[in-house]
Amino acid sequence: MSTIQAFVLAGGRGEQLGVITKHRSMAAVPFGGRYRIIDFTLSNCVNSRVHSVYVAAQYAPRSLQEHLGLGRPWDLDRRDGGVCILLPYTGRTDSFWYRGTADALYRNLDMLMARDSEMTLVLSGDQVYRMNYGEMIRQHRRHRSRVTIAVKSVPEADVGRFGMVGVEGTRVTRFEEKPATTDLRLASLGIYLFETEYLMQRLREVVPAGRYDLVLDMLIPAVREGEVTAHIFEGFWEDVGELDTYYNTNRSLLPAASSYIMDRRRPVYTQSEERPPAKFGATASVHDSIIANGCRIFGHVERSILFPGVLVGEGSVVRDSILFSEASVYRHARVVRSILDKRVVVGDGVVLGHDEPAEASLGRLADSEVVVHTREGLTVVGKFTRIPAGFDCRRPVMLDSHLSEDAVRAGLGILSGVSA
């Protein structure tokens, strides 16, 4: 019997990231100059000696599938165990998307049973954190728990973002899902450890009855029944599902920041792109930034993160920004407080963004009802969009993906920032 297996929920859309997640799932979003967000969860598994991992994908899964491949960078290309990507399927008589987190597990019960594991870790693929699951597993065994959840103290201002729990000793006695106000200060981190038999039993009870949510329909009832214990986690953890949180968590990796995300003893693994070393021209200057392989820098870069293959032309300034792979900023442009997706082209003399934070609502994409907000005053440009020379936009905006220069000139696909 395999001791433990992991089930990673990686199908979330991440709508608060706007155009960044239009063509990729939240778990596949680039992070930190070379990683994808899911790399942190997978690396935590491998570093904790959990080598049997299922990844439940759903929304826009292609980018995630291409990134994971056979799992070799994480040492998960194994005959016994390894990584397995699970997708909703179409049968002869039915087809469906997962109707919730509990439903994603229920629809894959045969896979959970196949490895005959004693315990099942249920994890999220859209969080940035380092954690040794072994400590949680040992506590779970010591207390002979049915369910153990990881919790962390959070500031009062953040309680509305999380499920908040009350704890007596190690026993969870209360669970309030994203309350407007509460006296509770321990947040559930979306990291759950189940006895596998108990998990399967509860799934068979709730999902056929039309209850599909892991927290509302399984965990909260289990708390009422006294089945849940808490594992207090004091390390770095962040849910990066909001635009400003994603931006600031990335920038916490910069050399001048006091980051606790990375640790040489417990590395974060990822697919590596074979590119030449970064090139710095005679006119280049770089300060407090992360510059990935394959970048060509001829302008000024400050407090920014550049993914592989980025070009910054002569006379251009990139400040307080994140540029995804192969984005190009041509000559004498200015890019400030911006996130540029893959292969965005910024023409000569373009001005994007403003130095000062400005709270704004960036509007909604055509296929979404969610309004994207920013307190940092960010400008966000979708992948493959081309911004024409001389374009000047000094306010928070979101530009859709695949826009031509003519479309940008005409104002098509540009969601203007409106003061909140």
The pLDDT value recorded for residue 20 is 95
Q: Tokens 């040489």 appear where?
A: 264
Structure confidence at residue 259 as a pLDDT band (50, 70, 90): low
| DSSP 8-state assignment for residue 291 | E
pTM value is 0.93
Tell me the average pLDDT of the chain: 91
Q: Tell me the sheet residues that pair with 351.
A: 334, 392
The pLDDT value recorded for residue 90 is 57
Spatial CA neighbour of 213 closest among 192, 196, 234, 242: 192
| DSSP 8-state assignment for residue 183 | S
Residues 325-375 pLDDT 10s: 999 999 999 999 999 999 999 999 999 999 989 898 887 777 777 889 999
List of domains in the chain: 4-251 (3.90.550.10), 279-419 (2.160.10.10)
Structure confidence at residue 419 as a pLDDT band (50, 70, 90): very low
The counts of H helices and E strands in the chain are 10, 35
How many Cα atoms within 13 Å fall on the side-chain side of residue 90? 0
Is the confidence at residue 60, as pLDDT, over 80? yes
Residues 139-179 pLDDT 10s: 999 999 999 999 999 998 888 889 999 999 999 999 999 99
Spatial CA neighbour of 271 closest among 63, 16, 48: 63
| DSSP 8-state assignment for residue 372 | P
Average pLDDT estimate for 239-266: 86
Is the confidence at residue 1, as pLDDT, over 50? no
